[in-house]
Structure 1
């Protein structure tokens, strides 16, 4: 089984099915829990707890968009056929189960190479599930990364993750509806609407939007989930706030800047379409939507020349945007076989491989040379705004007016931070007091950090 590409897909009713090759003639079916999946995976992944694998490496990745998964499968096949020294065996795990599967799998049962969502990297380093890539991946590959990839892949001054792509977050508009309301769309960071202008425009655009609501903020994605943290942190960074500083949340997460920013965010509910269908903006029902680059293929097909990409509103410190997407790392299971793991990652991060992937998912190319050649993100291209944002990336504890793309906190305690913050966001959106919710979230985060010695490495 270790020589197979195994694909795990989530069925409509939440059942996870592992598709076994024809000669096995059976299906293993289970409920979609990370623990159950991890137990099954440990029996078939072929990871050997650090033993040499004779040029064979096991690779785990998330099963996201169909086109993205297909592109990755093709790249693995290309790598395997490009040389005879290393064979990569790919396992795709449903995105909803992916992070919990890694969390519940012991380090010696992990694959040699694994994908991870950028904000989880530091927690996996802390749990000894990743090794530094500085002597594993080539210097040419590392030097060619765009700034956003460097920022989100670095922890304690060492590189633990590299990525084929990064993401952008922006405000998308329907030019016809904007024109009908007499509103001009900003197209550069310097032209971003102030929050006051944005709120006035929401009222105007609600009048011309067929749904009677001006904007889709992604409520259907769940504000308590990572979506909430990813899409609202630009508001607090732009207002001069942040989530965490020096491992502390008290006086930071519940600061006056954050309270004011989230009070404004909650007030937009009056103009927000819940969009349970997932098609409000491309169907022309709302004038605006607040989402990322991955929606460009859908939006451009639906709206054509009416599609406008704009920066997020400026709360006072300039427009900000989140970044940090799926990246790749090497686990201790690759000990003695890091050359093979490194050669695989070097192949994934070539310009040709990156071009294949971003053609599938419309993401921001992760290397400087691939970005320059991009038909979407290069100079004067339709998504250039996202590339410009990532060129000025920074960490969440040193946000300046000049910085636009900000990485979520790089800390082993990030799962606690986003969980507590997300719970507060959901309550705030439902009408709860902002200060009280942020106070409660700050206490929960600081308690967890205290219980874990501040997540300091031994």
Structure 2
């Protein structure tokens, strides 16, 4: 397990905590549909009474914000009460997977990569008809992409997550490096190598780059946040037509990940997590969740798009969201609560507590951090340029949804391990082909994770 903040926000956008919780099922080849179709299992109910809500026990500030939102909801009307149950992060997904259909809550928290598995195993209900059309249409395209399985929307999100290069303007200026501030002007991978050469001459240890190695490439960080953007930016994918062979081990991916590994000589391992704030490096490849620490640099802190490997800069997106249990008998009340969670006031309250980018269009546009002209506008702009799924990527879109499949645990397990091996010096084609074979074998053992 990585050393990361205990949080529902983008910090666990990079962890395998949720995905690994279901990996035991996915990796053994014993998976399969659970309760089947969810549509007939829910009932609208009276729209009143008590609804049960499950969520991950996050940071104290997040928990306090969630409880405040629930209190505001109950005060806004007198007919619906909320019974909240918080689970430790390492127990949550197991609790959902092991729950009998009738024991599922009316509303539940979920991490993006787990959604397809929950749907596959009959844990979630589609939201259409229970959540208002206004709420659904106000979700940003990137978060809607994460929360859509087989063309049905199963979740809505208050927050999102994204990546960038954090830069020290002082060190960049001292090296004579002009830096891009929009996705369209991102450095090419070759230009980035030249930038690193210049910066190596001005940083104390001669290693100007932090790739967040402390999170571990072999985990979710590798898949979502380093290998993923590199693969997508180079014109590649992890899966194509539900197969990894020919996609994950493509020539494009071999080229891109080999280039990425060539930057190891410029990279501070960052074992203490202080490489950037201490001034040891000039550039840090990481996500929005480090801003509360990095903002101490003040006006010296700049955000820069990730390098372009040929098809435009790319970032992964997606994080925790909210949905309905597949067996709720009061979907009308659950829908009203989800509508309230997605209101501008609720989204502001929650994202102010954890610093995450808002996942609704109206709250994002009004954000003091991510809105137009604000310090983190780049990250907000990137999330507004949604690619959707891997097979929908263009040169001009930026934020990509991780593969939406019930087999995601085997995908992230193998992609992360392959990237770690390549970074350690293994031949990229060999590492990616071995990963592709393992993924395809697992998918074959599980009938392609199709109902």
Name the TM-score, length of structure 1 as normaliser: 0.85
Tell me what 2:281 maps to: 286
Verify the 8 A CA contact 2:42 2:125 in the aligned structure 1.
no
Tell me what 1:332 maps to: 326
2: CA distance between counterparts of 1:456 and 1:323?
24
**Does structure 1 residue 342 correspond to structure 2 residue 360?**
no
Match of residue 226, structure 1, among 214, 220, 233? 220
Q: CA deviation at 1:157?
A: 1.2
2: CA distance between counterparts of 1:34 and 1:147?
27
Task: Please list the CA deviations of residues 182-233 of structure 1 after superposition, one character each: whole Å capped at 9, or x if unmatched.
Answer: 1111101121111011112123223322343212111111212211111121
1: CA distance between counterparts of 2:176 and 2:61?
38
Verify the 8 A CA contact 1:185 1:308 in the aligned structure 2.
no
Q: What number of residue pairs does the alignment pair up? A: 412
2: CA distance between counterparts of 1:82 and 1:168?
33
Match of residue 236, structure 2, among 241, 263, 269? 241
Verify the 8 A CA contact 1:34 1:101 in the aligned structure 2.
no
Tell me what 1:379 maps to: 372
Tell me what 1:271 maps to: 266
Q: Which runs of 5+ in 2 are unaligned?
A: 4-19, 23-40
Task: Please list the CA deviations of residues 137-172 of structure 1 after superposition, one character each: whole Å capped at 9, or x if unmatched.
Answer: 111101111111211111111110110011121111
Verify the 8 A CA contact 1:148 1:405 in the aligned structure 2.
yes
Q: CA deviation at 1:440?
A: 1.0
1:38-437 alignment runs, 5 A limit: 55-231=49-225, 232-300=227-295, 302-334=296-328, 336-394=329-387, 395-437=389-431
Q: CA deviation at 1:106?
A: 3.7
SS at match of 1:71: helix
SS at match of 2:392: coil
**Range with greater deviation from structure 2 (214-223 or 68-77):** 68-77
2: CA distance between counterparts of 1:96 and 1:310?
33
Q: Please, what is the CA RMSD of the aligned residues? A: 2.1
Q: CA deviation at 1:50?
A: 7.6
Q: CA deviation at 1:447?
A: 0.9
Verify the 8 A CA contact 1:155 1:410 in the aligned structure 2.
yes
- With CA pairs under 8 Å and 6+ residues apart, which has the higher RCO, 1 or 2? 2
Task: Please list the CA deviations of residues 37-59 of structure 1 after superposition, one character each: whole Å capped at 9, or x if unmatched.
Answer: xxxxxxxxxxxx98979722221
Verify the 8 A CA contact 2:116 2:406 in the aligned structure 1.
yes
2: CA distance between counterparts of 1:78 and 1:444?
49
Verify the 8 A CA contact 1:116 1:329 in the aligned structure 2.
yes
Structure 2 vs 1, CA of residues 435 and 105 (structure 1 numbering), >3 Å: closer, same or farther?
farther
Verify the 8 A CA contact 1:324 1:407 in the aligned structure 2.
yes
Verify the 8 A CA contact 2:42 2:331 in the aligned structure 1.
no
Q: Which runs of 5+ in 1 are unaligned?
A: 1-9, 13-32, 36-48
Verify the 8 A CA contact 1:273 1:286 in the aligned structure 2.
yes
2: CA distance between counterparts of 1:193 and 1:424?
25
